[in-house]
Amino acid sequence: MLKTKIAVFVSGGGTNLQALIDAEKRGEIPNGEIALVLASNDGAYALTRAAENGIKSVVVKRREFPSQAIYEKKMKDILAENGIEMIVLAGFMSLLSEDFTAAYPKRIVNIHPSLIPSFCGKGFYGLHVHEAALEYGVKVTGATVHYVNEIPDGGEIILQKAVEILEGDTPELLQRRVMEEAEWVLLPKAVEMVAQKLQKGN
């Protein structure tokens, strides 16, 4: 069976990449195959995870290119060379322009550690999201998988899952629980949904 070829874009530890690798091994992404890991820096532990699982990886650093357009052209060329049909942003910290996102309509998905539209958009990433949720005093947070467009965290929502905030939560504790209870559950499901849709469209 043909599978949708997926590139996972990473910048750090790659915990969501690992969740996808594990889900693929369990047969939970039958319509997709992680064919490439693209990192924004060569120190990303996600590259080690890719190597340990026999997945091709490449490093493309924004600062090595004179402009955003040339940087994105390099990434597009790499994606084309590897036959990539779908992109998953898994803690990818480099910004993508409207030119880039428009080239892959409904083919780029991102995971965000809150229930969009809460605690999202510019400046809301990593621990900042969980700090804001605790500061605001909300009782429930969670994670959202959404399509990526030109607006940060503004694309159509694919899946969401709520996570309760517990007494004594720190941003670090909350971050871990949101990952375990929501991100690692949602992302493989959403990736399979999109991969399946793309298969039907081919």
- The answer to whether residue 112 is catalytic is yes
Q: Which two tokens stand for residue 129?
A: 């999201």
Whether the bond between 117 and the residue before it is cis, its omega within 30 degrees of 0, is yes
Neighbours of 58 (CB within 10 A): 17
Please report how the helices 15-25 and 184-201 are oriented relative to each other, as an axis angle in degrees rounded to 10. Answer: 60
Q: Are 145 and 110 in contact (CB under 8 A)?
A: yes
Q: Are 62 and 40 in contact (CB under 8 A)?
A: yes
Quick one: DSSP state of residue 64?
Answer: G
Q: Which two tokens stand for residue 74?
A: 């390099």
Nearest to 111 by CA among 173, 159, 61, 174: 159
Nearest to 140 by CA among 158, 111, 114: 114
Q: Are 60 and 75 in contact (CB under 8 A)?
A: yes
Of 112, 128, 130, 146, catalytic: 112
The residues carrying an active-site annotation are 112
